[in-house]
């Protein structure tokens, strides 16, 4: 039973790491967050694609909201 629980927790952690570029883009309110999310699903399995998407989400200038 404990082995199944550990497997499920490990699987959830892997999924969270895989979707990290999408989470970063959403948290930073990136204007292209939908494109990042879609490309993350399609190309995130490649290491180069995942790194490029993460950098795109993390290094883009955040939007400035004027009041």
pLDDT beyond 80 at 24: yes
The secondary structure element, H or E, covering residue 17 is helix 2-18
pTM assigned to the model: 0.81
Mean pLDDT of the chain: 91
pLDDT per residue as tens digits for the range 32-49 = 999 999 999 999 999 999
The rounded distance, in Å, linking the Cα atoms of 35 and 53 is 10
């Amino acid at each position: 039973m404990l082995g199944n629980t550990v497997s499920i927790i490990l699987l959830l952690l892997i999924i969270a790491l895989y979707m990290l570029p999408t989470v970063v883009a959403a948290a930073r309110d990136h204007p292209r967050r939908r494109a990042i999310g879609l490309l993350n699903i399609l190309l995130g399995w490649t290491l180069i694609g995942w790194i490029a998407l993460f950098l795109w989400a993390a290094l883009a200038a955040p939007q400035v909201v004027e009041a």
